[in-house]
Structure 1
Amino acid sequence: MTAIQKFLSPRYRLLSHMTFWLVYMVYATLLYGTIHDDYWQGFMEVIITLPVKMTAVYFTLYYLIPRFLYARKYPGLILMFMASAILFGYADRLMMHTFYVPIYLKDYDYQKYPLMDLAKAVQRSSVVYLVVFAASAIKLVKQNYQTERFSQELGKEKLNAELKFLKGQIHPHFLFNTLNTLYALTLQNSPKSSEVVLKLSHLLDYMLYDCNVELIPLRKEIQQMQNLIELEQFRYGNRLEVSFSVTGDVSIQQVPPLLMLPFVENAFKHGVSKEVEEAFISIDLTLKDQQLILRVENSKAEDDSQPEAEYTKGIGLKNVSRRLDLLYDNQYDLQVFDEEETFMIVLKVPLSETEKPVVNQAPVQTSQV
């Protein structure tokens, strides 16, 4: 927290008020002392009139501003301001007449400048309200700062809540597909069931524990992409060819969790799921110039007449697109190519290098699943 933030913080209210009045007293003493060529006399004028100025300041800060300005009761504010300004002008003049004039202005002409002289009261009011205006300006700046800070914190909390909600909606896609696969294999008494359970447990562990952070190592996301591909391969068997290649060093890069998995899942769900013959999915992940480039391409069934919107309408892709908007604002690029026989997405996002390099990690190789 900076010095200005501390000064404006409610926790330091007493200190900030004391600092304000101390600064005012020093400034006014130097000013009046220079005018009178006597700094002690200047100091006494400040001390004598200080109670009136303090009363005017706190009356304005804690009554006029909250009751009228914040409530937007502008006619009442104007009337109360004018009445209080004249009142405090007379009060300041009374203090000067009672305590200052008898000591420092012994030749003062009371008949020429009577106590109830309105012009003199207005003159003294202008002196009082220079301090009031300065204090009010600080009050309004402080209020604006607190409002803006509260708005930012509220916006951040709303953003985090929406991100968690969107990320949470992605999870059922994995569970639905993998549980269906497991169910089919158990009906067949397939020995591959145990392998599916193991890979499913890795996915669940990833989603329930690893994903509860803002960023996750890219290599973990890649591992889960490979798990998902292998699980889906159990469903499609030999009629599906999947290639997955990674180019670049993934040991120190980080990405938001579940950022790329929905694109892969979408290729299976909306792409090859309707294919009755051989189908393909090609996934290329490239790290270049502090940028991640993901290209996912899948074949389409010959009788598949679904428009591009049908491919992008799924909950997973809608959510990941919304997450991209929230996480990267306009710093990402997502392109969709809907061709006659293929469907492809190309995603480009900036990378984060906040993880320590992993020692002796085997590089990810191009694989055919």
Structure 2
Amino acid sequence: MNRWGVHLIFWTVYALIRIAALGLYNMEFHDVSLMVLFEMPIAMALTYYLSYRIIAPLLQEQRWRLIVPAVLALGAALLMRRILMQELLYPWLYAEEYTFEFLDVYRFAGYFLEYIGIIGLFNAFRFYRDWKKEKLRASRLREEKADAQLQMLRAQVNPHFLFNTLNSIYHESLKGSEKTPEMIIELSDLLRFVLEDCSKEFIPLSREVELIQNYIRIEQGRHGEHLKCNAQFQLEKESMVPPMLIFSLIENAFKHGVNGSDKEVNIDIDIRSKAQAVEVEVKNPLHAHVKEVEKHSLGIGLKNTLKQLELIYPDGFTYRDHEVDGEHVAYMRMPTGPTM
């Protein structure tokens, strides 16, 4: 609802309450309605003047000298109301059959409390509305900032994994391998994935698995029988996942488990999609030539993955890694996106 609509409702409710209150004095509805119509312009003018000209700058800038015009405005409204009633309203309604005491202390006290109540209630609604708007604005800013950070992280991942893939193909081309053309075809599929899917918030898990399978074929083409990859995909439901998030774990395993080793290497990949979560477990060997500090450090891709997880699932993901019998084991669990 727009601002004018809210104000209209507020003053309509005020008018109805005043009509109901005056009706307790056994006054005719016609008389009550006219009295409220006379009173409302003064109440509205005082409320808007004090709210926007006095209270707002008084609270925001602590301009205490504004208390003086506030008191004067309130006093003027009280006097104006009594003058209108004495000179216009009562003569119109009751002709000569009425008595009117202008300086009625109880009447002035009642008007004063009425105005204070109206102004207080009006500003309570106004402050609540402003607080909600500021809260919504802050929430949108946080979302926009998180989205910008996420896009930046994904933009960092793309050249990172493409560099590693091109490096693999480059090594094969130096050896004059017959597998190079096939690896280039696999790379073209990876590039198509980057162009079409990486900008999306979520993609089908099967699409992510397809990317992983392409990457595995490239690595197997590069390393041949030197690399054994046991990949299991148990997709009970076609869930939605952030693009390249699982892929980063797989790439990290190949990077640290295969590169630089002259022995047979085993990479184990297990991806399971259940009703409530997607679980990923990746195992790769740790080689003696790897420095102790590097064993426990996170590569660029893995650091990026963790930052994305924190942005997308602030409280809903699990990640842990450890070393068991000379193997690095990484485990990730994240909630499923919307099911297909």
Scaled by the length of structure 2, the TM-score of the pair is 0.91
Offset of 1:305 from its aligned partner? 3.8
Q: Distance in 2 between matches of 1:203 and 1:159?
A: 26
2:27 to 31, 37, 51: 37
Q: Does 1:253 align with 2:239?
A: yes
Match of 1:90 in 2: 79
Q: Distance in 1 between matches of 2:6 and 2:100?
A: 41
Shift of the 126–253 alpha-carbon distance from structure 1 to 2, 3 Å rule, reads same
Map 1:127-142 → 2, pairs under 5 A: 127-142=114-129
Structure 1 portions without partners, runs of 5+: 1-5, 7-11, 356-369
Q: Does 1:157 align with 2:144?
A: yes
* Deviation larger for 314-323 or 73-82: 73-82
Q: Does 1:191 align with 2:178?
A: yes
Verify the 8 A CA contact 1:30 1:39 in the aligned structure 2: no
Q: Does 1:288 align with 2:266?
A: no
Map 1:109-148 → 2, pairs under 5 A: 109-110=100-101, 113-114=102-103, 120-148=107-135
Match of 2:9 in 1: 19
Offset of 1:310 from its aligned partner? 4.7
Match of 1:73 in 2: 62
Match of 2:326 in 1: 341
* Deviation larger for 184-193 or 290-299: 184-193
Offset of 1:187 from its aligned partner? 2.8
Q: Does 1:298 align with 2:284?
A: yes
Residue 137 of structure 1 aligns with an amino acid whose one-letter code is A
Q: Distance in 1 between matches of 2:268 and 2:332?
A: 14
Offset of 1:200 from its aligned partner? 0.9
Q: Distance in 1 between matches of 2:168 and 2:257?
A: 17
Shift of the 259–119 alpha-carbon distance from structure 1 to 2, 3 Å rule, reads same
Scaled by the length of structure 1, the TM-score of the pair is 0.84
Verify the 8 A CA contact 1:93 1:124 in the aligned structure 2: no
Q: Secondary structure at the match of 2:163?
A: helix
Q: Does 1:53 align with 2:39?
A: no
Match of 1:315 in 2: 300
Offset of 1:122 from its aligned partner? 4.4
Match of 2:53 in 1: 63
Residue 277 of structure 1 aligns with an amino acid whose one-letter code is K
Q: Secondary structure at the match of 1:260?
A: helix
Residue 128 of structure 2 aligns with an amino acid whose one-letter code is V
Shift of the 36–98 alpha-carbon distance from structure 1 to 2, 3 Å rule, reads farther
1:327 to 279, 293, 312: 312
Match of 2:258 in 1: 272
Shift of the 65–271 alpha-carbon distance from structure 1 to 2, 3 Å rule, reads farther
Q: CA RMSD in A?
A: 2.2
Q: Secondary structure at the match of 1:313?
A: coil
Match of 2:192 in 1: 205
Offset of 1:324 from its aligned partner? 0.9
Q: Secondary structure at the match of 1:139?
A: helix
Offset of 1:31 from its aligned partner? 1.5
Offset of 1:58 from its aligned partner? 1.3
Q: Distance in 1 between matches of 2:245 and 2:296?
A: 17
Shift of the 227–354 alpha-carbon distance from structure 1 to 2, 3 Å rule, reads same
Q: Distance in 1 between matches of 2:65 and 2:196?
A: 59
Residue 348 of structure 1 aligns with an amino acid whose one-letter code is R
Offset of 1:259 from its aligned partner? 1.2
Q: Distance in 2 between matches of 1:258 and 1:227?
A: 13
Offset of 1:99 from its aligned partner? 1.7
Offset of 1:311 from its aligned partner? 4.6
Superposed CA offset, 1:229-260 (max 9, x none) = 1112233222221110112335x221111110
Shift of the 62–83 alpha-carbon distance from structure 1 to 2, 3 Å rule, reads same
Shift of the 128–217 alpha-carbon distance from structure 1 to 2, 3 Å rule, reads same
Q: Distance in 2 between matches of 1:119 and 1:290?
A: 68
Superposed CA offset, 1:15-66 (max 9, x none) = 3322322222222112112224322222121111111111012112321233
Q: Secondary structure at the match of 2:25?
A: helix
Q: Secondary structure at the match of 2:87?
A: helix
Verify the 8 A CA contact 1:254 1:354 in the aligned structure 2: yes
2:90 to 90, 101, 104: 101
Q: Secondary structure at the match of 1:128?
A: helix
- Report the identity percentage: 28
Shift of the 104–37 alpha-carbon distance from structure 1 to 2, 3 Å rule, reads same
Q: Distance in 2 between matches of 1:239 and 1:325?
A: 36
Residue 148 of structure 2 aligns with an amino acid whose one-letter code is A
Structure 2 portions without partners, runs of 5+: none
Q: Distance in 2 between matches of 1:30 and 1:297?
A: 77
Match of 1:242 in 2: 229
Verify the 8 A CA contact 2:226 2:264 in the aligned structure 1: yes
